[in-house]
Amino acid sequence: MEKRALIAVVLSLLILIVYQEWIARQYGAPPPPAQVEKETLRDKVEKIVEPSPKPQPAPQRAKPAAQPRAEKARELRVETDHYVALFTSQGARLKSFTLKHYRAAVDEKSPPFEMISSTPGVPYPLGIQLPGSPPVTDETVVYSVRGGNLKLTGESKESLVFEGQSPSGVRLLKQFTFTGSGYTIQLQLAAQGANGSLSPTLLLTTDESHKGLTQDAVFEGLLAVVDSKIKREQSDEIKKGTEISGTVSWAGFGYTYFLFALLPEMEGQQRLATKEAAPALVMELSTPAQSGAADGSRYTLFIGPKELNTLKTMEKGLERSIDFGYFGFVAVPFLYVLHFSHRFTGSYGIDIILLTILLKLLMAPLTHKSFVSMKQMQKLQPQMERIKEKFKDDKEKMNKEIMELYRRNKVNPLGGCLPMLLQFPVFIGLYNALLTPIELRHAPFLWIKDLSRPDWESLPLELAGWHLGIPVLTLFMGASMLIQQWMTPSAGDPNQKRMMMFMPLIFTVMFINFPSGLTIYWLVNNILSIAQQYLINRMDR
């Protein structure tokens, strides 16, 4: 047996030498001689008799194993009671955001309103920018994800954690925490470089076409509260580029009825900047490194409707994103009255009518006094004409006699103007209360499909390629105003009265593109004024 074993070893060595020679000729030179000399005969024998597979194929298996570092981008879906959000792991950004309870158009069959969508050439929002020259973003970084698709309801909370690494070796983290019952999303950002923590800049993006938002959700531009002051910048100002430093309560992009805002958790000095990176409009929000927390920056995201009570619950002044104008102190109470009555009626059209009646009752004493004053002025008109004729060459004497005439008859010449002056802020306040809040968006009434839009859009027609409509409500309003003007006493000359008769025509043209809700208010107000004027005329007989 020993002789056979020796022969087997010798044959094995010969086979090994021949095999290595063949390998060297086919694939290159063998290892350096020094390395071969160190290898003992016993080692070579053990390699041959070892039952394990030959080691040569091992390098061929190692090549594919080194490639998996380039992960493929994933999409993750998050659904809550109010929205459906779609995230992509490339850049860990928000790819789509759809509001479940708001339609894209007035048609009841239209799809839910997609507030954030894909636009060619525009990066998705919620990217981060690292300091450098030039600064770099995480747009091409494919993050790994902890977590999967989520579906949340009520008070349940879940998170998605994105972890990645920039080309320069900076470790990046984005953690999104969602709640089932709210519009807010908690965001934590962290960046760890070789020299410690960095404070990345958070980016919001939109585009020139405003992501295809419908005509009733027009892009307003940048909205922010910095050092307790509201900032509003339209597209043209954003393109010029601005930079603001201060305490940023919140900042974001606003639309007529919707808002995408960032609320920094940390108080102190922040940097807010805007710029154009065609076709994108970019907002940058960053915190100085020396003020940054060790675990990164924290933000609250609000993506949703500009509904007054919802915004107020944030307690950050987010309700200031609704522009009620200078007469907001009038508009906001009107809006709360509409909210209150809507609990019982379920129709904002009826709520507007009830509000108009309430305002008319409150203004009734002043309106009555105005009508009585104008009636008295009308009775004094013949005497005034005689005074003007008598003292036509002495203006000072004429004015003195006219004022004496007013005094004797206890008539206030400004009595007819006071109610009109008081109605002006009421009208402007109600205009903003009916124009800006989201409550009237797609709210129907009678044949009107949307109280926030002109009434002619509810009865469309096409004429010679033009998209037109029949403004039935506006025509009724103009007719009621004409009747009211005809019944109103006039103390002026006939030419002035004829000029006043043109007012209904002017208002009719002006109201054609006003919201239907405001037209309802003006129509009902005119009808009530006609009824009041009729009663005053009967009492005066």
pLDDT at 457: 87
Q: Could you report the per-residue pLDDT of 202-238, keeping only the tens digit for each?
A: 999 988 665 445 566 788 889 999 999 999 998 888 8
Token pair recorded at residue 67: 């490639």
Token pair recorded at residue 72: 């493929």
Of the candidates 512, 517, 521, which has an alpha carbon nearest to the alpha carbon of residue 470? Answer: 512
pLDDT at 31: 39
- Whether 285 and 205 have beta carbons less than 8 Å apart is answered as no
pLDDT at 496: 60
- Whether 166 and 152 have beta carbons less than 8 Å apart is answered as no
Residue 254 exposed, middle or buried by CB count within 10 Å (0-12, 13-18, 19+): buried
Query: CA of 258: how far to CAs of 23, 205, 310, 330, in Å?
Result: 72, 15, 12, 22
Token pair recorded at residue 436: 């800006």
Of the candidates 253, 216, 258, 259, which has an alpha carbon nearest to the alpha carbon of residue 238? Answer: 253
Of the candidates 203, 177, 321, 208, which has an alpha carbon nearest to the alpha carbon of residue 259? Answer: 321
Which backbone phi and psi does 226 adopt, to 5 degrees?
-120, 125
The Cα–Cα gap between 530 and 528 comes to 5
DSSP for 444-462 reads -BTTBS-TTS-GGGGSEEE
pLDDT < 70 positions in the chain = 1-71, 208-216, 288-295, 412-420, 488-500, 540-541
Q: 161: Cβ–Cβ under 8 A, 6 or more apart, which residues?
A: 145, 146, 147, 173, 174, 175
**Domains detected in the chain:** 2-65 (no CATH), 75-323 (2.70.98.90), 329-539 (no CATH)
pLDDT at 494: 60
Q: 375: Cβ–Cβ under 8 A, 6 or more apart, which residues?
A: 489, 536, 540
The Cα–Cα gap between 458 and 464 comes to 19
- Whether 261 and 251 have beta carbons less than 8 Å apart is answered as yes
DSSP for 7-48 reads HHHHHHHHHHHHHHHHHHHHH---S-HHHHHHS-HHHHHHHH
Sign, Cα dihedral of 339, 343, 349, 352:
negative
pLDDT at 492: 55
Kindly report the pTM of this predicted structure.
0.76
The Cα–Cα gap between 450 and 442 comes to 4
Token pair recorded at residue 370: 């105005």
The Cα–Cα gap between 407 and 453 comes to 49
The Cα–Cα gap between 160 and 366 comes to 61
Of the candidates 45, 54, 46, 47, which has an alpha carbon nearest to the alpha carbon of residue 9? Answer: 45
pLDDT at 288: 67
Residue 283 exposed, middle or buried by CB count within 10 Å (0-12, 13-18, 19+): buried
**Beta strands 219-226 and 248-255: pairing type?**
antiparallel
First to last CA, the chain: 146
pLDDT at 400: 80
The Cα–Cα gap between 518 and 510 comes to 12
The Cα–Cα gap between 110 and 282 comes to 30
Half-sphere exposure of 436 (CA within 13 A, CB side): 25
3-state secondary structure of 408: helix
